[in-house]
Each structure stands twice: as structure tokens, then as C-alpha cells.
Amino acid sequence: GISSAEQLPIRAYGIEDGLAGDSITDIVQDDRGYLWIATTDGVSRFDGGRFTTYGSADGLPHARVHALLEGRDGTWWIATHGGLARFLPDRSAGRPAFERVALGSTMPEPVFSLYEDRAGRLWAGGAGRLFVLEPGEPGEARRVREIGLEALPGRPQTVDSFAETPDGSLWIGTQQGLLRHLPDGRISFQPVLPHHGDDRVLDLEVDRKGRLWVVHLLRVFVFKPGPGELQTGGARPSLAEAAAARGCRITVDRPAALSLRAGEVCELGNPEDDTGWRRAIGSGDQMRLVSNRGMFLWDGRRLREWTEDNGLVDSSLTAVAEDRDGNLWLGTEGRGVMQVARHGFIGYSVHEGLANPKVLSVFQGGDGALYVHSGDTYQRELWLHRFDGARLTAVRPRLPPEIGYLGWSMHQSAVLDRSGRWWIATGQGLLRYPAGTRFEDLGSTLPAVIAARDGLGGNSIERIFEDSRGDLWIATNGARPLTRLVGATGELRSFGAEEGLAAENVPWALAEDRAGQIWVGISRGGVLRLNPKGSGRLERFGPEHGLPDAPVTDLHVDARGRLWIATEGGGVGRLDIPSARSPRFVRLTTLEGISSNEVRCLTEDRWGRIFVGGHRGIDRLDPETGRIEHFTTLDGLASNLVDTAGRDREGRLWFGTRRGLSQLVPVREPVSLVPSPWITGVSLNGVPQRVSELGAPRVEGIEMEAGRSRLEIGFLALSFAPGESLRYQVKMEGFDRDWNPASGARSVVYAHLPAGRYRFLVRAVTLEDRAASVVPAEVLIVVRPPLWRRAWFLGLVALALAGGIAALYRYRVSHLLALERMRTRIATDLHDDLGSSLSRISILSELARRRAQGDADGTRLVTDIGETAREMMDALGESIWAIDPRRDDLRSLATRIRRFAGDLLESRGIVWSLQAPADAEEIKLSPVERRQLYLIFKEALHNVARHSSAASVTMSLAVKGWRLTAIIRDDGKGFDEPAEGETRHGLGSMTARAADLKGRLTIESAAGHGTEVRLEVPLTGRNA
């Protein structure tokens, strides 16, 4: 148990941490896990990391808050000096956080106490008035009713407390004594400790045995109500008189049994002490009571006291609460609030009997007691301490005058062997005290010195270890680093290089496994195994067997026989079967979850959990589950640099640091679920959205613009468990494929979410074993697409595009029609005007030629005029044909070619033929295509007529798909390939025209074998 000599694992919070005020009136934890703290300057909500504080500006009727209550329906009620208020966690922007609830009058009256009974009725105690708020239908205001206090001997100034016993009676503590409100509505009065000015009952608590704890200003009474008690009028003996008559009193120095029958009373506290009692809370068989002298704990057998001597920042306590992780929270009258960590580390330093805070080793002696070795080896200061279950008693062992240097040995630096002999390591030999020397006599008894001259491997002693046979193993920094002192004979046998232990491999740790083998951890890295019954050689195991290449600082064999190895820089090694012929070691480093690879010491609790001390506090490893928990100075540890560790016969664990000694009483915690997180806030572009101030498991209706909105989501899971360190994993479904890596951040920002629907999830995970909360919190998000991607906008664009296409089509059709009409008019005008004029010139020139037959010059001139007119008529005819839209088809081209071929070839006696598709009229050609194709044919036929000497010519026009193939073949004399740079028969112009049509012209000819001209061109106006 906790004694007055021990330092509690306490952490204090005040206004500098964000607390509303330093004078505390009430502490309550809600269902979510928030801790609510009432002060005389407002109320604060604590999430484990920061305080959220409310005052009069947030709607509180008064800054002085007396009591807090969370109803079963989740409503928060706040009793203030200005009346009753209700918390509004789902308020809209700009609204106050609290609203005042009217009670008996419109004038604000103080409310001092609150209670909700089993029927869901809310009881509010004020300044001499008592109100009950009856539950109503959902959404309806509660009906307020005032309860008369006529049963009291006088009108009280305050109604301070409530409690409900198993029989359904409601007990009411007032300034004038105790009231009992029976289930049938009757009220009776019970005096407690009258005749002291007032009879004020500040708090009431019912324990699990149905006993009522009455916290009076001056005393505490434990009362066992019985049926029918206090139900009739008349004078009643006070609880103090009933307790005195029974002779039952419990004090700190007077343990007593607390076995009460119905109607019996017992008193706590000394009558002569002016202890100002304040509050009480019960947990199991324990009761915690706070007063202006500190905290008192009743464990069912004895009453113990915590004061400033145990580390309380202030002994004047005003409130007490226990959170769901088992931590105690103590409110003070002017120093804020304190957290006493559940099962945290209890400290021992110079004030608790530790003569020097630099702890060198912690060990259990052969007599079963726990001993602590501390001191400054360079100052020749050496202390041994014995723990008697409550305190440390120190003694300074006497040193021989020749010992000037004590060395720097840790872990195993002193031994009380099973025969009762003390051994202490120094830098100049091993001290041996006479057998039977008592602990108290170490300071006056001169020891013998065993050194290298006596057979030790060296004078500087590093470790001392006693094995199961009673033999002593001494590690030294010498030529033969390990020595065995046989307990039965006193024989010394040393081990050196010949046995496998070189001088530079200084032993830093020693242990014995279940098979009796001795294990040696060495300073150069690796371990050695020695079978004392074997050949006497040491087997070495190092990195090639899985061990880190780092100095070994401690060894521990656990309850299952596994060997654990602590190293300086390489983490922890483990060997599951130490007797294996070829052992393989398993390593644990920061990658596996331990806090540091710099490990100094190892120990084990009664449940097989391994405690690893090092440079960053202590890790607790559970080999069965793999879970790792981390403890630091925040849990009460004296220092985060832990040098040595041990366990006493009571199962308590002890950790030595250079700033004192820490004790931990391990408990077997039940498997607990990781707390579920809450969404604490959502903001868009810095504008908070409406989310409950207490957090919500699910938030809906978040809508934002794609690409332009900054989304920030806050979240939190609440845990005050010691060694617990929660992290968070988030996932945006629809954006992330999997959970993001765990992080300690309590918010996340998304700056550029694409349009779509998303579901944001967050879960809490433990840092140690990555266990995750079962139910994640979630936010449903809709990211609206940009304006140009929305359906209505796309519909408008589609309509506009369709309208534009229709308008463009209409314009194009009208333009083509107008162009066709213009072409038709031009062709008609050319034919009618210019054509008729040229025909007239041709006719007149013919008449003039006939009249001028005798004049040779006149005849020649007239002939030239006629020829020119006819040529112009031919050219004009071709132009008119080319632009006439009524000729835009392949049939018109074929007809034109036939006419030209007939005029040209038949006059020369050349037989010709032309094949054209049957649907030539349906195959449309553009004016350019018709003209170029015709001119190519015309040039090719001119070449046939002028140069080929052909007897026949065949021509064909064929259309396949979108391509036209034209072939002209004659049986003339042909020609060889032209020389480089030579151009024949207008081939260049034909090729150029084919290129203009994006076609290909090929000519195949050979002397004596005729000529074939092939033209392939794509058609742009093909109608399927």
C-alpha cells in the first residue's frame, strides 16, 4: 500500500495550462471520456491534451460553478451561483453554449448540488430550497416542482448533496443535517453532528454493500440504513451519538473492521482533529475521501493518508473523481487539479530515505528482502538500503582504508548470498563481510578484500552473481575476466583466453538458465555460454546467430526459461531455447515498437510481461500478445534514463535511475477496447461547420466546390490510461486506397478533392500494438463539380451546341444553294452573252473569208479571226461546263470525255471506247475535281493522237469506296523512260494536276508495246 514515505505519480494542471480557474469545486467525466472541471471562474473540458474553457460570456448564469451532472439522456447540467444552466453542444454559430433553466422564481438563485435518481428525475439543491425536475416527453421542457424542507429543524442556507440507497430512499445532505426522502414521498430528518454551529453534510456516497458514507464538515460516518429507520417523528439520536454508543471509530493509526448491521454507524477521524472533509467517491471495496488535510483511503482494513509529503501540490483538497482508466483526479482550493496515475510509479528519493539518488543496483537478498545500492563511486560514497514494505533504511558500509576507487559497476554490484554473507564490488577488489553480519552492522564491520593476488582475474569488479548452487561468479576488467568462487569450498577458478574469453571482452552481465548454464554478456557484443559441468570452455554467439553487434548491458531468464538480452544500441535479443545446440536469437528494435535501442536493464512481473529500461523510459512487452506499452516521467518515473531494475518477493518492480528510485505495483489489466474517436470539427475554407462541441461519431451534409475548397477535419479519441499513446489512421473512401499511416495529428486537411462523393473515416490505434478502435468516426462529403461540369450546365451547352450546329448547317446549305445559283447564273450568262457573241464573230469571219477569196492577205486574216473565235468558244464551253452545278457528277464528266474523244480520235481513224459506272450520275464531283480530271484526260488523249500512232484506245472509269480509278490504254508505239531532266508529252502538267487532287498518276510504257496511264484519286463528294 501507499505509505507516507512514497512519492505519488502526480501531474498538476492550472490556469497556465488553460484551466478556467485554480479553485476547483467539482470534477466529472462524461460518457465520451472528456473530463469536466468546475471552478470558481468557469468550467473547463479536458481532452487529455488541452482545455476548452467556458465562462459568463458563453452563457453561464454565473462564473462560479458549484456542481456538474451528465444526465442519462446526455444532457449536461451546470449548477452555478446564478442558477441552473444546460449545455448546448449542438448550438448554431453565434449562439451561447449554455442556456439558463428557470426554477422556482424569475430571480437568479444559486444552485449548489445536482443529482439524477433512478427514475430520471433531476434534483437541484439551492439556498435553502430543493427542486425536482420531472422528465417529460422528448423535446419537451421538464416540469419543475419545489420540495418542502419542513422536516428540518431550521431553514438551511445550502442543500449540498444527494445519494440513493438500494431501498429507493433519496438521502439529502443540508446545512442542518440529513434528510431521507422515502419512495412514498414522506421525508424524515436525521441529525449528524449537531451542537457545532451547523450540521453541514457536504457529500454522500453509497458503497457496493449499500452502506451510506456521510461526509460531514467535521467527521465522516458510515451508516447502514435499515427498512423503517427514520420514518417517524420525534427526537432522533445523531449519527455521532450512535457511533459513540457502539464504540466504532476508525483512524489512520487504528485499523478496524467495518462490519455494520442495519441501523449501525461507525465514525472516521479523530475528534480532536479539525479536518475539513469535502467529498467521497467509492470504487469496489475502496473509498477515497478528500479534506483540507489531504486525501484518505479506506481499503476495507485500514485508513491511509496522502498529503504534500506524498507529492500532492496542495493538501487542501476540494473535489475527487476517478476516470474510466482508473486515474484519480484531485481538485484543490487554489492550486488547480492533480492527476494521480493509476498503477503509476511511486518515487523514492532523499526525502524518502534514499541516501543518494544515483541508484547503482536493485536486488533481492538471500533473506528475501529488497536491497538498493546507491552512491557516487568517484567520491567514495557507497550506500545500501533495505526496504521494509513501507520505507527505505540506509546504511553506509565500512570500507577498508586501501580502497580508494569504488569502480562504476551497476546491476549486480552487491550480493547478500544465501548463507548471509555480504559481497560488494569495488574498483580495487571484492569486499567480503564476515558471515552473519547484520545489515545494520555493515557500517561498523571491516570487510576483507579479495583481489588478483588471491586468484581473481582482475581487481576492477564489474558484476557479482550468485547461481542456484551457491557459487559466486565475479566479472572483472582484467587478464582473466571471469572468476568462479565455489561456495562449498571457497576455491577460485578464473576463465580467460584459453577458455574462450579474451581479456578485451569484459563481462557486463551474468545470468543462469534452467539447465544451470551460465550466460555472460560481454562489452564487445555477443554472449557466452558456459556449462559448469562440461569442458569449461565458453561458447560465443554473436551477429552471425542473430544478435546485434552491440555491448550487452543486462541478461534476464524469464519464467518460461527464455533468455532476454539487453544491448547498448542494438535493442533487445531473445533466445527461446537456451539449451539448443545451435541457438538462434530473435531481435526487437524500434522497428518492432520498443521506444529505444539503447537498453540498460530487464525485469519481469508475475504475469510474464518483460519490462525494458533504457534511455527513453520503460517499455512493457507482453510476449503472448506482442503488445508494447511505454512509460515515462509523465507516469511518475523518476527519470527517463533507467539504469537498473529488480523485483521483490511481493511482486513489486523497482527501477533505479540517477535521480532516484521508482516502484511499480503491476496489475493484470483486463483487455480493453481502443476508444472510438469523435469528429470534433469540420471547416471549409476556414469557416467552421456545425458539429457538436462534444464531438460526433458521424457528420453529414458537408458540400464543397471541387478544386477550390480547403477541407479540414478534426478528431479525437479520449484515454487517460498510463503508458497509453493513441495514434490515428484516416482514410478518404473514393480518394485513398487504404488507411494512411498512423499519426499523432488530431486533424487532417484536404485541399484539392476532385468532384464526387466521399466518406472520410478515422480510427484510433495504439502506438504499441496497432490495435484499432472497432467503430470509426465518419464524415460524408459531396464535392460538387465545377460549373462547366454540372448536368444543367452541360445540358445548356449541348442545347447551345446543337442550335449552333443547326444554324451552321442551315447557313452552309443556304450558302451552297446561293453558290450553286450563282454558278448556274454565271454559266448561263457566259453561254448566252459571250457564247452568242463569239458564235456571231465566227459566222461573220466565215462570210468575210468567202467574200475575200481573191485577196490572199485578207483571206489569211479572216481565217485567223475565225480560228481564234472557235478556240475561244471551245475554251468558253469548257469553263461553262466546269462551273455549271448541274454537271457535278461522274456521268457529266464521262459525257464530256466521250464528246472530246469522239472529235479528236475519230478524225484520225483511231478506234476508242469508254466504260463508266452504271450509277455515274449518283457519284458527285466537285467543280475542281471535274475540271482537273477532264484536263488530265484531255492531255492524255492529245498525247495519244499526236505521238502514239495507235490504232485503238480504251478508257475506263471505276469507283470503289471513296476512290476513283481512271485508265487510258493505247496500242501505239510506246516510248522508253525519259532521260533525267527531260519532259515528254505534257506528263509534268498531268502529274501536277493529280497531285492537286491528292491522287497518284502512273504511266507504264515500252517501245513497241503501247502506253497505259493510270490515275487514282480520292473523291470528296462521294454519295453512298
Per-residue model confidence (pLDDT) at position 904: 86
Over the stretch 65-97, which tens digit does the pLDDT of each residue have? Answer: 999 999 998 899 999 999 999 999 887 777 899
Mean pLDDT check: name the lowest of 238-247, 657-666, 885-894: 885-894
Mean pLDDT check: name the lowest of 467-471, 538-542, 616-620, 751-755: 751-755
Contact criterion met (CB below 8 Å) for 530 and 538: yes
pLDDT of 263 over the 70 cut: yes
Over the stretch 178-190, which tens digit does the pLDDT of each residue have? Answer: 999 998 888 999 9
Instruction: Report the mean per-residue pLDDT for the chain.
Output: 86
Task: Provide the greatest CA pair distance for the chain.
Answer: 179
What average pLDDT does range 337-350 have in this prediction? 84
Mean pLDDT check: name the lowest of 695-699, 837-841, 893-897: 837-841
Whether pTM exceeds 0.85: no
Count CB atoms within 10 A of the CB of residue 839. Answer: 13
Query: Which residues make Cβ contacts (< 8 Å) with residue 120, sequence separation at least 6?
Result: 71, 72, 73, 135
pLDDT of 302 over the 70 cut: yes
- Would you place residue 589 in the very low, low, confident or very high pLDDT band (cuts 50, 70, 90)? very high
Per-residue model confidence (pLDDT) at position 164: 95
Select the more confidently predicted residue: 959 or 841.
959
The DSSP code for 310 is G
| CA–CA separation, 331 and 789 (whole Å) | 59
Say which residue the cell 421542457 belongs to. 141
Query: Which run of H or of E encompasses 58?
Result: none
Tell me whether residue 969 is exposed, middle or buried, using C-beta atoms within 10 angstroms of its C-beta: 0 to 12, 13 to 18, 19 or more.
middle
- Would you place residue 817 in the very low, low, confident or very high pLDDT band (cuts 50, 70, 90)? low
pLDDT of 394 over the 70 cut: yes
CA atoms within 13 A on the CB side of 200: 17
Per-residue model confidence (pLDDT) at position 12: 93
- C-alpha grid cell, residue 656: 533505479
- Would you place residue 376 in the very low, low, confident or very high pLDDT band (cuts 50, 70, 90)? confident
What average pLDDT does range 771-777 have in this prediction? 88
What average pLDDT does range 227-231 have in this prediction? 53
Contact criterion met (CB below 8 Å) for 362 and 654: yes
| CA–CA separation, 358 and 647 (whole Å) | 18
pLDDT of 230 over the 50 cut: no
Per-residue model confidence (pLDDT) at position 4: 46
Q: What is the SS3 assignment for 140?
A: coil
Over the stretch 949-988, which tens digit does the pLDDT of each residue have? Answer: 899 999 999 998 888 999 999 999 888 765 444 445 578 8
- Would you place residue 320 in the very low, low, confident or very high pLDDT band (cuts 50, 70, 90)? very high
| CA–CA separation, 847 and 245 (whole Å) | 169
Cα dihedral value 206, 208, 209, 210, nearest 10: 30
Q: How much helix, strand and coil, in percent to the nearest 5, is found in the chain?
A: 20, 35, 45
| CA–CA separation, 619 and 626 (whole Å) | 12
| CA–CA separation, 607 and 79 (whole Å) | 46
Select the more confidently predicted residue: 611 or 667.
611
Contact criterion met (CB below 8 Å) for 127 and 156: no
Query: Which residues make Cβ contacts (< 8 Å) with residue 314, sequence separation at least 6?
Result: 308, 332, 333, 334, 335
Tell me whether residue 666 is exposed, middle or buried, using C-beta atoms within 10 angstroms of its C-beta: 0 to 12, 13 to 18, 19 or more.
middle
Phi, then psi, of 257 in degrees rounded to 5:
-75, 150
- Would you place residue 251 in the very low, low, confident or very high pLDDT band (cuts 50, 70, 90)? confident
pLDDT of 235 over the 90 cut: no
| CA–CA separation, 385 and 947 (whole Å) | 134
Per-residue model confidence (pLDDT) at position 272: 66
pLDDT of 722 over the 70 cut: no
Per-residue model confidence (pLDDT) at position 228: 56
Contact criterion met (CB below 8 Å) for 32 and 52: no
pLDDT of 232 over the 60 cut: no
pLDDT of 344 over the 90 cut: no
Taking each helix axis from N to C end, the angle separating 987-996 and 927-943, rounded to the nearest 10 degrees, works out to 160
Select the more confidently predicted residue: 888 or 884.
888
| CA–CA separation, 658 and 357 (whole Å) | 6
Phi, then psi, of 958 in degrees rounded to 5:
-135, 140
Contact criterion met (CB below 8 Å) for 353 and 393: yes
Over the stretch 460-481, which tens digit does the pLDDT of each residue have? Answer: 999 999 999 999 999 999 899 9
Query: Which run of H or of E encompasses 452?
Result: none
What average pLDDT does range 310-329 have in this prediction? 90
Which letter, b or e, does each residue of 886-910 get, where b requires 16 or more Cβ atoms within 10 Å of its Cβ?
Answer: ebbbbbbbbbbbeebbeebbeeeeb
- Whole-Å CA distances, 791 to 274, 753, 798, 801, 959: 80, 19, 10, 15, 46
Query: Which residues make Cβ contacts (< 8 Å) with residue 654, sequence separation at least 6?
Result: 362, 370, 372, 645, 646, 647, 648, 661, 662, 663, 664
Mean pLDDT check: name the lowest of 657-666, 725-734, 796-805: 796-805
Select the more confidently predicted residue: 3 or 299.
299
Count CB atoms within 10 A of the CB of residue 162. Answer: 22
Query: Which run of H or of E encompasses 926?
Result: none
Query: Which run of H or of E encompasses 243?
Result: helix 239-246
Over the stretch 498-538, which tens digit does the pLDDT of each residue have? Answer: 999 998 899 999 999 999 999 999 999 999 999 988 888 99
Long-range contacts of 859-868 (CB under 8 A, 24+ apart): 865/841, 866/841, 866/842
What average pLDDT does range 646-669 have in this prediction? 89
Long-range contacts of 209-214 (CB under 8 A, 24+ apart): 210/165, 210/166, 211/258, 211/260, 212/163, 212/165, 212/171, 213/280, 213/282, 213/287, 213/289, 214/173, 214/178, 214/239
| CA–CA separation, 220 and 290 (whole Å) | 11
The DSSP code for 611 is E
Per-residue model confidence (pLDDT) at position 877: 64
Cα of first residue to Cα of last residue in the chain, in angstroms, is: 104
Q: Which residue, 1005, 996, 939, is CA-closest to 978?
A: 1005
What is the number of H-type helices and E-type strands within the chain?
7, 70
Per-residue model confidence (pLDDT) at position 598: 96
Say which residue the cell 499519426 belongs to. 743
Select the more confidently predicted residue: 107 or 831.
107
- Would you place residue 158 in the very low, low, confident or very high pLDDT band (cuts 50, 70, 90)? very high
- To 5 degrees, how large is the angle CA 445–CA 447–CA 453? 170
- Whole-Å CA distances, 796 to 382, 762, 807, 964: 92, 40, 16, 43
Per-residue model confidence (pLDDT) at position 231: 40
What average pLDDT does range 865-890 have in this prediction? 68
What sections of 765-914 are H helices per DSSP?
Answer: 791-829, 836-851, 856-883, 890-905
Per-residue model confidence (pLDDT) at position 855: 64
pLDDT of 123 over the 90 cut: yes
Over the stretch 897-952, which tens digit does the pLDDT of each residue have? Answer: 888 888 888 888 899 999 988 888 888 888 788 888 888 888 898 888 888 889 99
| CA–CA separation, 463 and 478 (whole Å) | 13
The residue type found at 262 is A
How much of the chain exceeds pLDDT 90, in percent? 47
Say which residue the cell 461573220 belongs to. 844
